[in-house]
Structure 1
Amino acid sequence: MLNRRVLLAAMGAVIYLTATEVSFAAKPYRSDKPNIILVMADDQGWGDTGYNGHPFVQTPSLDAMAKDGFVFDRFYAGAPVCSPTRASVMTGRNPNRAKVTNHGRYMRPHEQTIAETLKAAGYITGIFGKVHLGSGQPDSPCNPSGMGFDEWVIGLNFFDNDPYLSRMGKIEHRQGKGSVILMDDTLEFLKKHKDGNRPIFTVVWFPSPHAPHAEVPEGPSLYKGKPNAAYYREITLLDQQVGRLRHAIREMGMAENTILWYCSDNGGLVKESSGGREKKGSIYEGGLRVPGIIEWPARQLKGRTAVPVATFDIYPTLLAMAGVELYAPHPLDGMDVSGIISGSVTERSKPMGFWHKLQGGQGTRSDQIQKAIMEKQQAGAPLPHDPKRVRKDVNEFPQFPEETTTGHAAWTDWPWKLHRINGTKFELYNLSDDPMEKTDLSQNPQQTQRLKRMQQELDTWMRSVIRSINGKDYQETK
């Protein structure tokens, strides 16, 4: 097996999309490469924004971003829970391939990440906030340095007020609202590098609005008497921090050539505003459909699309937009959707696969773990605090039978979506006609051929995923 990736040379490419006079072009020089900032909420549903019509939640910053930028009306998280979706952003792959099958699982360091590829292309890289893909200890191959990040301040999972955060492996007990602290660290990183000779890649992953909703926004108390008021208060808090970010990059003169991409890591906590059937934790639409906005003032990205796009598309798309050659030694599930963004492409050419609960999740108490590590660091005690956490999942290659179908999988070939539940039960929906997935068409005689074709495609894809989790991808890249 490969223990690390090969070192990549700096690379540049030119991609022109001329159908709408929008071009994503870059030369291998600092002045031409865009800065890139990825922002992600934790548990915000598609309908939990003002611009998507929520009846009372206040999200003026996201509303302004949606007005100024380009909105994905059908943007999907790679999984209905947090850690797997984050792995899909990093790799452009279904997270099961990297053994991030559920929350709390570590991403294998064998994976090629977007941070590593951009770093090799000359970017300075930083990540701030909730990572939930590995360790925060300095000598772990699963910490952000091992994922390709030059600088980082992270929580292992969600955090609220007065969090314990790992700054490059040293634990700090910070005072204040976690989401505000996260933005403080982000802006410090951007200010530090804005005048350098390297473009900047920054990942900003909020811990809100994840329960228990202890953080509150600035200003008067909001939503008294409203259902789920604490949840929506945290959404307004993170909206305020998105506003801080957008204002700051304008003040720093960075906004014009910065790609800013916002989304959530899974469906929301309230079914009524999830944008589909069910909510977080479900493969039905409400567990996967999330807010999605991208802006890049230099390219005047504006408009709204109903073409499906997912978090696993971020990696290949951003490389195309930045003019960086795609390095993908392992099979990708995502595709370059820059044509959809530019308007030159009006349909998705690649189906989307989802698969949840192949394995169970694992608890990660971020503050408890990092507080204990901090106390050992301060006492000069041997590290790591827990040897199992430093290399968890790194060299574990359990061999699943290729025909494994445990859990709930789905195959979306727009507008059709096929569900496969524990391998035996199938459901088929037309999302265009039935966005709430109420009418199962799997027994409809008119859909017999479609059902059979999609079952075969889903089965082939699931077998491919099992081969990946078994380690076949890494053997092929020796």
Structure 2
Amino acid sequence: MIRHFFLTTPLFLMIYLCGFSYIAKAASQSDKPNIILVMSDDQGWGDTAYNGHPFVLTPELDAMAKNSFVLDLFYAGAPVCSPTRASVMTGRTPIRTKVTNHGRYMRPQEITIAHTLKKAGYINGIFGKVHMGSGQVNSPCNPSGMGFDEWIIGLNFFDNNPYLSHKGIIKQRKGKGSVIIMDDAISFLNKNKDKGQPLFTVIWFPSPHDPHVELPEGPSLYDNQHKKHRGYYREITLVDQQLGRLRTELKNMGIAKNTILWYCSDNGGLNEKTSGGRKKKGSIYEGGLRVPSIIEWPAHKIKGRSSVAMSTCDMYPTLLAMAGIELSPLHPLDGIDVSGIIMGTEDERKKPIGFWHNFQSGQGTWSDKILKAIMKKQKAHSPLPHDALRINKDVYDFPQFPEDSVTGHAAWNDWPWKLHRINGTKFELYNLQDDPMETRDLSRNDQHKQRLASMKKELDLWMRSVIRSLNGKDYK
């Protein structure tokens, strides 16, 4: 029965996307803001000058932070890349979508922010590192299946002279990967800015992920810094320069005023000393999740800093609210609308944030190697490789996990309290306001016995609901 339903899913999505399309056609789109999401890859909270880094140069981020809205307590949906990207797309904790770790595909049954914005009349484009789906034209897990009209992507991180998929056609591009994808995004904006429809643009940099061979413009930087992180910080400055290009081009195009530009990273950084918390990328502790985040919307002059906890799961419902688009989700969301906090009408969060990592292992994805092999087959007009492995990966795979599954490391952030549950047996409790580095475990303190019991129950109920989603219950 379950398999039969999923075989009919393309029709289900078609009905969803086409439903009420007359609303989008009839309504004027002139007042809808353009939305641009920019995300770096592996940049920690403290790896910006505006957050106090001792030497890294991020003048564009600094200028944006000074004149926009800074989220000081913003969390990635997961401590590694692919799951966080799924949380941005769906507003759901990524295990629900089957992106349980890096390299996993997001199920095509998911309704994305791109699907919803497309219904509202947006033209959608995505550029850069996707890492939660296919780059082949006949896969339901490619960006077209996610709701995008235009896409030029890598399957994972890439650097200089990358192989990229342009709607399924693979080409090797010459130059710095992070510059190339900004070229493509700016071209998309220029091409579509005068069509009378708002634009939704996703720019996901492959940097500062290792191997750190891209170099910023200008003189050599950080030669006197520790060799291990020198290339990392050079790529952060390169990303900063490309963000500056984007902001300048938006002004030159005349569309900057009514464009929501939201910048963040996909997980914690590579240097624990500047991660903004305990540990770094790959950890559920604060250093693996806390990331830089800034929102700019000149038309509404949003400005300031907030220490209210928010996450990438919140981006979907929040952006729809800011754009005046009604959200009627078909599947349970973990994110909430925090536009009131951003716009200055609210000052606290109304729902805890759940995290869960290492429920399953990750899967290796070598973008250039895979795409180069496909390109060679395309040029030779030969059957494409990787069909069985990658085109339909995770599409019809619905293993049934016990509802009480607890594998991995989960956490429940009910600010200022954060409960950790490690492989189901070990619990840790921290007060993040008093102990932001999570060094003093209060789980055995009798003073917090009642709080511990309550948070354990809440986390357990949430984890069970996540497993139900993973098992496919949301799609019935």
Residue type of the alignment partner of 1:193: N
Question: Counterparts in 2 of 1:147-296, with a 5 A limit?
Answer: 147-227=146-226, 228-296=229-297
* 1:321 has 2:285 as partner: no
Name structure 1 gaps, 5 residues minimum: 14-26
The whole-number CA distance in structure 2 between the counterparts of 1:423 and 1:381 is 49
State the SS of the aligned residue for 2:355: strand
TM-score by length of 1: 0.95
Residue type of the alignment partner of 2:20: A
Name structure 2 gaps, 5 residues minimum: none
Report how far residue 197 of structure 1 moved. 1.4
The whole-number CA distance in structure 2 between the counterparts of 1:196 and 1:435 is 48
* 1:330 has 2:331 as partner: yes
Residue type of the alignment partner of 1:32: D
Report how far residue 382 of structure 1 moved. 1.5
Spell out, residue by residue over 1:9-28, the C-alpha distance to the aligned partner (whole angstroms, 9 max, x if none): 24879xxxxxxxxxxxxx94
User: Identity of counterpart residues, as a percentage?
Assistant: 71
State the SS of the aligned residue for 1:221: coil
State the SS of the aligned residue for 2:165: strand
State the SS of the aligned residue for 2:189: helix
1:462 aligns with 463
1:119 aligns with 118
State the SS of the aligned residue for 1:255: coil
Q: Tell me if structure 1 keeps the 8 A contact 2:373–2:385.
A: no
The whole-number CA distance in structure 1 between the counterparts of 2:392 and 2:186 is 31
* 1:373 has 2:384 as partner: no
TM-score by length of 2: 0.96
Q: Tell me if structure 1 keeps the 8 A contact 2:82–2:132.
A: yes
Report how far residue 276 of structure 1 moved. 0.2
* 1:43 has 2:16 as partner: no
- RMSD value, Cα: 1.1
Change (3 A) 1:385 1:376: farther
* 1:387 has 2:398 as partner: no
Q: Tell me if structure 1 keeps the 8 A contact 2:321–2:339.
A: yes
Spell out, residue by residue over 1:307-363, the C-alpha distance to the aligned partner (whole angstroms, 9 max, x if none): 011000000000000011113100000000000101111111000000000000000
The whole-number CA distance in structure 2 between the counterparts of 1:386 and 1:413 is 44
Q: Tell me if structure 2 keeps the 8 A contact 1:402–1:467.
A: yes
Change (3 A) 1:325 1:50: same
* 1:422 has 2:423 as partner: yes
Report how far residue 384 of structure 1 moved. 4.9
Report how far residue 385 of structure 1 moved. 3.9
9, 22, 27: which one aligns with 2:20: 9
Report how far residue 168 of structure 1 moved. 0.5
Q: Tell me if structure 1 keeps the 8 A contact 2:272–2:278.
A: yes
Q: Tell me if structure 1 keeps the 8 A contact 2:269–2:280.
A: yes
The whole-number CA distance in structure 2 between the counterparts of 1:11 and 1:304 is 39
1:88 aligns with 87
Spell out, residue by residue over 1:132-176, the C-alpha distance to the aligned partner (whole angstroms, 9 max, x if none): 011000000000000000000000000000000000100010000
Q: Tell me if structure 2 keeps the 8 A contact 1:11–1:120.
A: no
* 1:307 has 2:308 as partner: yes
Q: Tell me if structure 2 keeps the 8 A contact 1:11–1:325.
A: no
The whole-number CA distance in structure 1 between the counterparts of 2:164 and 2:20 is 33
Q: Tell me if structure 2 keeps the 8 A contact 1:11–1:121.
A: no
Q: Tell me if structure 2 keeps the 8 A contact 1:372–1:385.
A: no
Spell out, residue by residue over 1:229-257, the C-alpha distance to the aligned partner (whole angstroms, 9 max, x if none): 11000000000000000000000001000
2:412 aligns with 411
The whole-number CA distance in structure 1 between the counterparts of 2:40 and 2:121 is 27
Number of aligned residue pairs: give it. 462
Q: Tell me if structure 1 keeps the 8 A contact 2:284–2:355.
A: yes
The whole-number CA distance in structure 2 between the counterparts of 1:452 and 1:107 is 34
State the SS of the aligned residue for 1:202: strand
Spell out, residue by residue over 1:442-478, the C-alpha distance to the aligned partner (whole angstroms, 9 max, x if none): 0000000000000000000000000000000001xxx
The whole-number CA distance in structure 2 between the counterparts of 1:71 and 1:474 is 36
The whole-number CA distance in structure 2 between the counterparts of 1:50 and 1:365 is 32
Q: Tell me if structure 2 keeps the 8 A contact 1:376–1:385.
A: no
Residue type of the alignment partner of 2:375: M
Report how far residue 388 of structure 1 moved. 1.8
Residue type of the alignment partner of 1:78: G
The whole-number CA distance in structure 1 between the counterparts of 2:271 and 2:48 is 13
Spell out, residue by residue over 1:32-78, the C-alpha distance to the aligned partner (whole angstroms, 9 max, x if none): 00000000000000000011010000000101111111000000000
State the SS of the aligned residue for 1:144: coil
2:445 aligns with 444
Residue type of the alignment partner of 1:192: K
